[in-house]
Structure formats: structure tokens, C-alpha cells
Structure 1
Amino acid sequence: MEKGFVFGEEALGFISFGQMYAGASDEQVIHAIEITLKAQLQFDGSYFVALLEQLKSEGITSKKQAFQYAQNKGIISV
């Protein structure tokens, strides 16, 4: 039995587009993916891009900062 989440081509396209569009780091992309999956229970490309833009504009780079931001905005709960 395998664990994890498998991304389809469409999701991979959104991830690549989002990173280039926002000028985000790999770390910001990873955090945005994790939060998107936790909040939406699936990968939602437009949600991911919007969240990634927020992380970038706020200068959030660490996982701790990203999850704290998401909690403060009511995106996810503990």
C-alpha cells in the first residue's frame, strides 16, 4: 500500500505556473501545496496559486510561518 498524494498533469501545470507567476521559492511552493491539500482535501489549482501569492507577498518562507499564517487567516485549524 502506497502513501502520499499523486499529482496529475493538470496539477503539475498549476504548480509550475504558480511558482513562475508568483516568483516563489521551492519552499513556498511546498508549503502552499501542503496547506492547499489540508484545507481543500484535494489539489485545487486556483486556490493553490492564490495562496502561493499570499505567502510570497507576506515574505513567508518557513513551514512554521506558513502554517501560522494559514491558521490566523482561518484557512486551516489545529
Structure 2
Amino acid sequence: MKNNHALAYFLEDLWSKGFKLSDEDVRFIYFGKNSTNAAQWKAIIAVKVTLKFQHKFDPSFFISVLEHIAKPEVKTKGEAYRSLEKRGFYSKRPLHK
């Protein structure tokens, strides 16, 4: 997967698995990515966390997650997930028992 198309491939994969984001949702994801100057992998994490916690695409939740991990000091996926876990946005444990 080419890094400059990772987000598009991820969104396409969601679509193929039956999770249909609206055109508006997709535009908002790219708007958020561009407005925070976030790397594509950070936008992907923000989408994953949003869908995991909200069970749908919630733009305000997505942008709060993305803004949090878009900080320059977050350099790896591990750091992003640890930072989100500290803020209560992410958990390695399943949401339901």
C-alpha cells in the first residue's frame, strides 16, 4: 500500500466490509486531516477509534481524537494509542463483555 494513498485505501476497505461512510463523512475526514496537518496514519487511527467508541462516524468525536494525536510529539502509532488511552479515548480491552 502506498503511503500517500493509505487513507483512501482504508476508507475503501471499510466500504468493502459493509461500513458505508457518506460522501460528507469522507470529505470531513479529509478536511480534518488537512486542517490538523495530520499524517494519514493518524487520520486512520482517529477514524478507527471514532467507529469503535461511537459505533458510527461522529465528526466532532473524530476531530477531537485527531487533534489530540496530530500533535508533533506523537511520532508513532504506539505513542498515539498510549496517549489516547491516557485520555480515555482508547482501550485495548473490548468495550463489551
TM range (shorter): 0.7 to 0.9
1:28 pairs with one of 31, 35, 42: 42
What RMSD in Å do the two structures reach over aligned CA positions? 1.8
Partners of 1:58 and 1:40 lie apart in 2 by: 26
The percent of aligned pairs where both chains have the same amino acid is 32
- TM-score of the pair, normalised by structure 2: 0.68
Map of 2:11 onto structure 1: none
| Secondary structure, counterpart of 1:57 in structure 2 | coil
| Larger RCO, structures 1/2 (Cα 8 Å, 6+ apart) | 1
4+ residue segments displaced more than 6 Å? none
Larger radius of gyration: 2
Q: Are 1:55 and 2:69 matched, yes or no?
A: yes
Q: Structure 1 stretches of 5 or more lacking a match?
A: none
Q: Structure 2 stretches of 5 or more lacking a match?
A: 1-15
How many aligned positions are there? 77
Q: Tell me which amino acid in the other structure corresponds to 2:77.
A: K
